[in-house]
Amino acid sequence: AKSAALSGVHAAIKTAVNLVQTKSMLEDKYDNRGQDVKGTSLMYNDHTITIYNQGTPREVWKNGFEHLISGDIKHLGTGTDKLKETCSGAEFCVIDNLKVSNVITGKEGYGLFIFPQGHALTDKNCFTHYAFQIDTQGLLVYREAGMTTDGC
Protein backbone atom coordinates (compact mmCIF):
# COMPACT_ATOMS: atom_id res chain seq x y z
CA ALA A 1 0.00 0.00 0.00
CA LYS A 2 2.85 2.42 0.80
CA SER A 3 4.48 1.74 -2.57
CA ALA A 4 1.25 2.51 -4.42
CA ALA A 5 0.69 5.75 -2.49
CA LEU A 6 4.32 6.74 -3.02
CA SER A 7 3.87 6.11 -6.77
CA GLY A 8 1.01 8.61 -6.74
CA VAL A 9 3.20 11.26 -5.10
CA HIS A 10 5.99 10.49 -7.58
CA ALA A 11 3.58 10.98 -10.50
CA ALA A 12 2.36 14.27 -8.99
CA ILE A 13 5.94 15.55 -8.72
CA LYS A 14 6.71 14.65 -12.34
CA THR A 15 3.52 16.31 -13.55
CA ALA A 16 4.16 19.46 -11.50
CA VAL A 17 7.70 19.80 -12.86
CA ASN A 18 6.44 19.37 -16.44
CA LEU A 19 3.71 21.97 -15.93
CA VAL A 20 6.16 24.50 -14.47
CA GLN A 21 8.55 23.85 -17.35
CA THR A 22 5.73 24.48 -19.85
CA LYS A 23 4.67 27.68 -18.07
CA SER A 24 8.30 28.90 -18.14
CA MET A 25 8.31 28.42 -21.92
CA LEU A 26 5.04 30.32 -22.33
CA GLU A 27 6.42 33.23 -20.29
CA ASP A 28 9.81 33.22 -22.06
CA LYS A 29 11.67 32.25 -18.87
CA TYR A 30 12.83 28.80 -19.99
CA ASP A 31 16.39 29.93 -20.78
CA ASN A 32 16.92 31.91 -17.55
CA ARG A 33 20.23 31.42 -15.79
CA GLY A 34 19.30 32.18 -12.20
CA GLN A 35 21.55 30.64 -9.58
CA ASP A 36 21.53 29.87 -5.86
CA VAL A 37 18.44 31.09 -4.01
CA LYS A 38 17.88 33.92 -6.47
CA GLY A 39 16.70 32.03 -9.52
CA THR A 40 13.89 33.61 -11.54
CA SER A 41 10.36 34.31 -10.31
CA LEU A 42 7.43 32.59 -12.01
CA MET A 43 3.76 33.07 -11.16
CA TYR A 44 2.02 29.71 -10.95
CA ASN A 45 -1.60 29.37 -9.76
CA ASP A 46 -1.43 32.78 -8.05
CA HIS A 47 1.80 31.89 -6.22
CA THR A 48 5.33 33.04 -6.95
CA ILE A 49 7.80 30.19 -7.19
CA THR A 50 11.51 30.23 -8.04
CA ILE A 51 12.73 28.53 -11.19
CA TYR A 52 16.10 27.92 -12.79
CA ASN A 53 17.33 27.06 -16.28
CA GLN A 54 14.91 25.06 -18.48
CA GLY A 55 12.00 25.88 -16.18
CA THR A 56 13.40 23.85 -13.29
CA PRO A 57 11.46 24.56 -10.07
CA ARG A 58 13.51 25.20 -6.93
CA GLU A 59 13.65 22.21 -4.54
CA VAL A 60 11.78 23.89 -1.69
CA TRP A 61 8.45 23.04 -0.08
CA LYS A 62 7.44 26.38 1.45
CA ASN A 63 6.53 28.84 -1.31
CA GLY A 64 7.31 26.11 -3.82
CA PHE A 65 6.11 22.54 -4.11
CA GLU A 66 3.41 23.10 -1.47
CA HIS A 67 1.65 25.01 -4.28
CA LEU A 68 2.43 22.43 -6.96
CA ILE A 69 1.27 19.15 -5.39
CA SER A 70 -1.37 18.40 -2.80
CA GLY A 71 -1.86 15.69 -0.22
CA ASP A 72 -1.32 14.91 3.43
CA ILE A 73 2.33 16.03 3.41
CA LYS A 74 4.15 17.49 6.43
CA HIS A 75 7.25 19.64 5.97
CA LEU A 76 9.81 18.21 8.42
CA GLY A 77 12.58 20.62 7.62
CA THR A 78 15.28 21.90 5.33
CA GLY A 79 18.74 20.42 4.81
CA THR A 80 20.28 17.77 7.05
CA ASP A 81 18.72 18.73 10.41
CA LYS A 82 15.79 16.27 10.17
CA LEU A 83 17.36 13.38 8.24
CA LYS A 84 17.02 10.97 11.18
CA GLU A 85 13.48 12.00 12.13
CA THR A 86 10.75 9.41 11.56
CA CYS A 87 7.76 10.72 9.65
CA SER A 88 4.67 11.06 11.83
CA GLY A 89 1.55 13.21 11.95
CA ALA A 90 0.85 12.94 8.22
CA GLU A 91 0.70 10.31 5.49
CA PHE A 92 3.97 11.68 4.05
CA CYS A 93 6.79 13.96 5.14
CA VAL A 94 9.12 16.12 3.09
CA ILE A 95 12.67 17.34 3.60
CA ASP A 96 13.75 19.97 1.09
CA ASN A 97 16.83 21.89 -0.03
CA LEU A 98 18.96 18.83 0.71
CA LYS A 99 22.21 17.85 -0.98
CA VAL A 100 21.25 14.74 -2.92
CA SER A 101 24.46 12.95 -1.89
CA ASN A 102 23.09 12.74 1.66
CA VAL A 103 20.60 10.16 0.39
CA ILE A 104 21.82 8.96 -3.02
CA THR A 105 25.53 8.15 -3.01
CA GLY A 106 27.56 9.82 -5.74
CA LYS A 107 24.74 12.11 -6.94
CA GLU A 108 25.39 15.87 -7.02
CA GLY A 109 22.91 18.72 -6.77
CA TYR A 110 20.02 19.48 -4.45
CA GLY A 111 16.67 17.83 -3.97
CA LEU A 112 13.36 17.47 -2.24
CA PHE A 113 12.57 14.08 -0.68
CA ILE A 114 9.13 12.76 0.28
CA PHE A 115 8.74 9.60 2.35
CA PRO A 116 5.86 7.83 4.13
CA GLN A 117 4.83 7.79 7.75
CA GLY A 118 6.94 5.42 9.86
CA HIS A 119 10.10 5.96 7.80
CA ALA A 120 13.14 8.20 8.18
CA LEU A 121 15.16 9.48 5.24
CA THR A 122 18.34 7.98 6.73
CA ASP A 123 16.80 4.56 5.97
CA LYS A 124 17.51 5.43 2.31
CA ASN A 125 14.53 3.37 1.20
CA CYS A 126 10.87 4.01 0.46
CA PHE A 127 11.00 7.59 -0.82
CA THR A 128 10.42 9.66 -3.90
CA HIS A 129 12.57 12.61 -4.83
CA TYR A 130 12.96 15.53 -7.16
CA ALA A 131 16.53 16.65 -7.76
CA PHE A 132 18.62 18.76 -10.08
CA GLN A 133 21.97 20.44 -10.49
CA ILE A 134 22.77 23.87 -11.93
CA ASP A 135 26.35 24.61 -12.99
CA THR A 136 28.32 27.81 -12.28
CA GLN A 137 27.01 29.33 -15.53
CA GLY A 138 23.40 28.83 -14.46
CA LEU A 139 22.82 25.94 -16.88
CA LEU A 140 20.96 22.78 -15.99
CA VAL A 141 23.24 19.74 -15.61
CA TYR A 142 20.44 17.26 -14.84
CA ARG A 143 16.90 17.15 -13.46
CA GLU A 144 15.08 14.03 -12.31
CA ALA A 145 12.17 12.67 -10.37
CA GLY A 146 12.92 9.26 -8.94
CA MET A 147 11.52 6.69 -6.56
CA THR A 148 12.94 3.95 -4.36
CA THR A 149 10.43 1.41 -3.05
CA ASP A 150 12.79 -1.00 -1.28
CA GLY A 151 11.64 -1.34 2.30
CA CYS A 152 8.16 0.04 1.75
Please tell me the predicted confidence (pLDDT) of residue 35.
73
Please tell me the predicted confidence (pLDDT) of residue 82.
93
For residue range 90-132, list pLDDT tens digits in order: 999 999 999 999 999 999 999 999 999 999 999 999 999 999 9
Question: Can you tell me the distance from the alpha carbon of 134 to that of 111, in angstroms, rounded to the nearest whole number?
Answer: 12
- Check whether 1 has a pLDDT greater than 90: no
DSSP string, 53-86: GGGEE-S-TTTTGGGT--SSEEEEEEGGGGTTPB
Q: What is the mean pLDDT of the chain?
A: 95
- Check whether 37 has a pLDDT greater than 80: no
What are the DSSP E strand ranges found in 2-139? 40-44, 47-52, 56-57, 73-78, 92-99, 110-116, 127-134
- How confident is the model over 73-81, as a mean pLDDT? 95
- How confident is the model over 28-50, as a mean pLDDT? 90
The reply to whether the predicted model has a pTM over 0.85 is yes
